[in-house]
Structure 1
Amino acid sequence: MNAPVNPGDLYPADLKVRGFEDFAHVPGPQPARSRTWRTIQFLRDPKGTIEWLADTYGLVFRRQDYMGWGVTLLGPEANELVLFNKDKIFSSKLGWDPVLDMVFPNGLMMMDFDPHRKDRKTLSVAFKPAPMKAYLGGLNEGIARRVGQWSQTDSFKFYPAIKDLTLDLAAGSFLGIAWGPEAQKINQAFTDMVRASVAIVRRPLPFTQMRRGVKGRQYLCDFFGREIPNRRGKEGDDFFTQFCNARDEDGKLLTDQEIIDHMNFLMMAAHDTLTSSITSMVYHLGRNPEWQEKLREEVDGVRARHGDSLSYEALSELELVEMAFKESLRLVPPVPMIPRRAVKDFEFQGYHIPAGSGVGINTLYTHHMEEHWPDPERFDPLRFTTQMSANRHKYAWVPFGGGAHMCLGLHFAYMQAKAFFFRLLSDRRIELPQGYECAFHMVPIPRPKDGLPVSLPPR
């Protein structure tokens, strides 16, 4: 596993990028004068743009952006084809490379097929019950400390506050370091890297966002590289130490560079996506106080049975909290779009799509399809009861992806969200400004345009 993988062993040697002529038989827009301008228009309103394209051309259409020409496939059946990927048609690495290669290369999402399977199995040691229980103790302490510092009288911007909190938690659970100046530098590095992923200028030229992202990656590579020798052969409850000592199925340790690449990607995938998802849930609970009270009643019941600190054994009892979290992920999925590249020809809904094609699915669109989600803009956690979910297509809800690339840390995400709302709803009420509606920047990871003003008075 530690030997470099020859890309030619995974992908056809003659795989080529496709152009407009390869998709002339697929409905869709004509070539634009400027791919960059078309991309900018899309980034301004991803949901509105994708809905217009679907209304105009159907659930399969050609598209053009800064990555070139490709096809978009919409709906649960498309999600299943691409994510389940039973015939190994779609490459995650080749799909994400144009977006992430300069800032998050060789992370788990940037791997395919057998190398991906091996590394995923090796890294899964950090998500077993024993370390998860240890993480929860740190989460409970960190959340209680930071929430206790938030104003009980004045309105404040929730998004930057929760971003600081999740980084605080990541510093402990992921890195095993205390919050401080180094953690703040790490936060800035990740922020620069994530923003670079959708920067219009795709080269690290001076004064560009891509340049800041590349410098952020270098800072983190240096940080992890210095720390790895200190973690080898040591015990620790944090992800970083677990990865430094994890062995693959052949008994080999990960190389330093593999650890660096996986830590860079994992920190981004866990920190920024959870920040987005918790923000979305706070917003929806603020807009729906009746649901806020239902969740608070559930939290109070768990506290009465188990005490004021959330235990690992009590996590499963927060059923309404979990359903509300799932509904928030439906309304504002942390990864609104998922790119792939086809490494084989394939057929979908009567269209022949050649190998080399960029293929995109759209989580945001699928999560708002009325045939699967009646009254799709309404916040209703009961959509996720066993009865309501029984006849719904398995791939109609895919905030964590699916198939072999299903998010490795999804149970950690649930645990962290439950720990946060257990504490918040125990102590505070969520109140939004009168008549307030939140607008989100949807890419690369959703965040409120105004930071989400909120008041959290004592209950």
Structure 2
Amino acid sequence: MASIASPQAAEFTPTDWRVSHPPEALDHIPGEAGYPIIGHTFTQLRDPHAFSRRMFASYGPVYKVRTMGSWHVALIGAEANELMLFDRDKVFSSEQGWNPVLHRLFPRGLMLLDFDKHRADRRALSIAFKPEPMRHYAGALNRGIAARVEEWGGGSMRFYPAIKQLTLDLAADSFIGLPFGPEAKRINRAFVDMVQASIAPIRRPLPFTQMKRGVDGRAYLVDYFTREAERRRANGGGQDMFSQFATATDEEGNLLPVDEVVDHMNFLMMAAHDTITSSVTSLVFLLAKHPDWQAQVRDELLGVIGSPGADLAYEDLGRPELTEMAFKEALRVIPPVPSIPRRALRSFQYAGYTVPAGARVGINPHLVHHMEEHWPDPERFDPLRFTPDKVKARHKYAWVPFGGGAHMCLGLHFAYMQTKIFMAHLLTRYRVEVDPGYEPAWQAWPIPQPKDGLQVTLTPL
């Protein structure tokens, strides 16, 4: 399947993401308008995975759909993932792709920046993920996770709210250097409101709407992080991630503007907190559902840490290879970012179609992660899909839970580290079980989570 960008085509010059092209520019692309006014908005929100499977089966790897007030063009396949994420010709704007969803909530986050600005800010913020800060985070993660997992004890529990609370506490410690307390609870509430507002059908912050709650949550966090950034600069910073951001400098050695630091912190806290919560929940559910794999992962972790509940040292993070493969398989089955939007700055070609400049386009990692051409028996949980030989034989962009190209998730190594440390403490203390035949319903957007909280039983070993 050919996928060719066209750098010489007419450019889409407006920088305002609200400016659109005429609907007739997409007449040659197959698809559906849906219902009057609302299009397919509610159909997608009800079951986005079933909707995308139906559209792909009906129209193929390129189709259009009217949703959230405008037309969107879906590009399906590993080749589409590579075209959009690698973006060698700088055809696709991440800023204008995400802005319709996130501009009121997470403006100027790293994911919403393009090209030179993105590269410069990413380089400045990468200081927070160097070996010394990461070693500091590993110590904080081991302490916090060990204490909480021990508190859980045995018995039945709703896993998702428990791990969400833990990841918030860990983020407050490692990211902000803030002991958990009333202010951390308010921070969590603000993030929850902002994430839920990102898919609210009512896109204006009218009274009593989810968008209003999200906008109010952002206002609280902007005020809090602004005060904290200025305080940390005055006091010389610290080892936590926020202090690293607050004292980061650009290529000329200048401190980043405080408002940019605040926006980056808002976005990265959301990304780390909510996506890790979702990903760890998926892994725990799949290992509980497949006790044979759980036992193998447990044995591997015990072989690395030596005794139940011992710390997983920073220097040993590369050793639990099967644990990492199981995590990657969980990210394949339930990717934390199921779809990724962009805006075409120039016209381009994919799968025999010319998509015009200005089109809102997007890829669908969840659908590609379940395509039989890349993943035989795709509904089966099999961590050995990620042995080096199988990874080498597969299309590089068939698995994109962390994005790819210049916008590859900056915190992916932190995600691996936190997940491995958590599993080392959990699985060497407990056997995690679910009732036979248990299949929770999942909220797919904006970040996957089990609607019932995921009921599990922890049995002390």
Distance 2:307 2:202 in 1: 55
User: Aligned-pair distance for 1:43?
Assistant: 1.1
Matches within 5 A, 1:357-396: 357-396=359-398
> Match of 1:36, SS?
coil
Alignment gaps of 5+ in structure 2: 1-10
Answer whether contact 1:122 1:248 (CA < 8 A) is retained: yes
Task: Kindly provide the CA deviation profile for residues 355-408 of structure 1, in whole angstroms up to 9, marking residues without a partner as x.
Answer: 100001001000000010000010000000001112100000000000111000
1:17 aligns with 2:20: yes
User: Aligned-pair distance for 1:306?
Assistant: 12
Distance 1:254 1:352 in 2: 40
Matches within 5 A, 1:432-447: 432-447=434-449
Counterpart of 1:120?
122
Task: Kindly provide the CA deviation profile for residues 91-139 of structure 1, in whole angstroms up to 9, marking residues without a partner as x.
Answer: 0000000000000001101110101100000000000001000000000
4+ residue runs over 2 A deviation: 13-16, 31-37, 304-307
User: Aligned-pair distance for 1:62?
Assistant: 1.2
> Match of 1:316, SS?
coil
Counterpart of 2:354?
352
User: Aligned-pair distance for 1:24?
Assistant: 1.1
Aligned partner of 1:316: which letter? G
Distance 1:33 1:205 in 2: 24
User: Aligned-pair distance for 1:347?
Assistant: 1.1
Q: Which moved more, 1:66-75 or 1:202-211?
A: 66-75
Answer whether contact 1:35 1:66 (CA < 8 A) is retained: no
Distance 1:293 1:269 in 2: 30
In angstroms, what is the RMSD of aligned CA positions? 1.5
Count of aligned residue pairs for this structure pair = 448
Distance 1:425 1:305 in 2: 11
Task: Kindly provide the CA deviation profile for residues 38-79 of structure 1, in whole angstroms up to 9, marking residues without a partner as x.
Answer: 211111111111000000000111111014012100010000
Task: Kindly provide the CA deviation profile for residues 238-288 of structure 1, in whole angstroms up to 9, marking residues without a partner as x.
Answer: 110001111111000011101110000000111000000000000000100
Distance 1:306 1:41 in 2: 47
Aligned partner of 2:166: which letter? L
User: Aligned-pair distance for 1:151?
Assistant: 3.7
Counterpart of 2:170?
169
Counterpart of 2:403?
401
Counterpart of 1:259?
261
Distance 1:44 1:235 in 2: 45
Counterpart of 2:4?
none
Counterpart of 2:224?
223
Aligned partner of 1:378: which letter? R
Counterpart of 1:189?
190
Distance 2:412 2:69 in 1: 29
Distance 1:307 1:449 in 2: 30
Of the three residues 63, 67, 72, the one matched with 2:65 is 63
Percentage of identical aligned residues: 57
Alignment gaps of 5+ in structure 1: 1-9
Q: Which moved more, 1:235-244 or 1:321-330?
A: 235-244
Of the three residues 421, 424, 439, the one matched with 1:419 is 421
Distance 2:413 2:102 in 1: 24
Distance 2:325 2:14 in 1: 46
Structure 1 residues 448, 14: CA separation in 2 closer, same or farther (over 3 Å shift)?
A: closer
> Match of 1:429, SS?
strand
Distance 1:169 1:124 in 2: 20
Of the three residues 35, 45, 48, the one matched with 1:46 is 48
Distance 2:339 2:286 in 1: 22
Distance 1:231 1:335 in 2: 32
Answer whether contact 1:35 1:65 (CA < 8 A) is retained: no
Answer whether contact 1:283 1:438 (CA < 8 A) is retained: no
User: Aligned-pair distance for 1:37?
Assistant: 5.5
1:315 aligns with 2:317: yes
Answer whether contact 2:302 2:308 (CA < 8 A) is retained: no
Answer whether contact 2:176 2:240 (CA < 8 A) is retained: yes
> Match of 1:456, SS?
strand
Answer whether contact 2:309 2:424 (CA < 8 A) is retained: no
Q: Which moved more, 1:346-355 or 1:207-216?
A: 346-355
Counterpart of 1:6?
none
User: Aligned-pair distance for 1:329?
Assistant: 0.3
Distance 2:412 2:37 in 1: 35
Q: Which moved more, 1:304-313 or 1:433-442?
A: 304-313
User: Aligned-pair distance for 1:20?
Assistant: 3.1
> Match of 2:403, SS?
coil
User: Aligned-pair distance for 1:349?
Assistant: 1.5
Counterpart of 2:145?
143
Counterpart of 1:301?
303
Counterpart of 1:3?
none
Answer whether contact 1:42 1:49 (CA < 8 A) is retained: yes
Of the three residues 333, 342, 346, the one matched with 2:335 is 333
User: Aligned-pair distance for 1:148?
Assistant: 1.2
Distance 1:245 1:163 in 2: 28
Counterpart of 2:31?
28
With the length of structure 1 as denominator, give the TM-score of the two structures.
0.95
> Match of 1:390, SS?
helix
Answer whether contact 2:160 2:450 (CA < 8 A) is retained: yes
User: Aligned-pair distance for 1:448?
Assistant: 0.2
> Match of 1:246, SS?
coil
Aligned partner of 2:207: which letter? P
Q: Which moved more, 1:392-401 or 1:41-50?
A: 41-50
Q: Which moved more, 1:67-76 or 1:156-165?
A: 67-76
Distance 1:436 1:93 in 2: 40
Structure 1 residues 102, 39: CA separation in 2 closer, same or farther (over 3 Å shift)?
A: same
Distance 1:167 1:86 in 2: 36
Answer whether contact 1:336 1:442 (CA < 8 A) is retained: yes
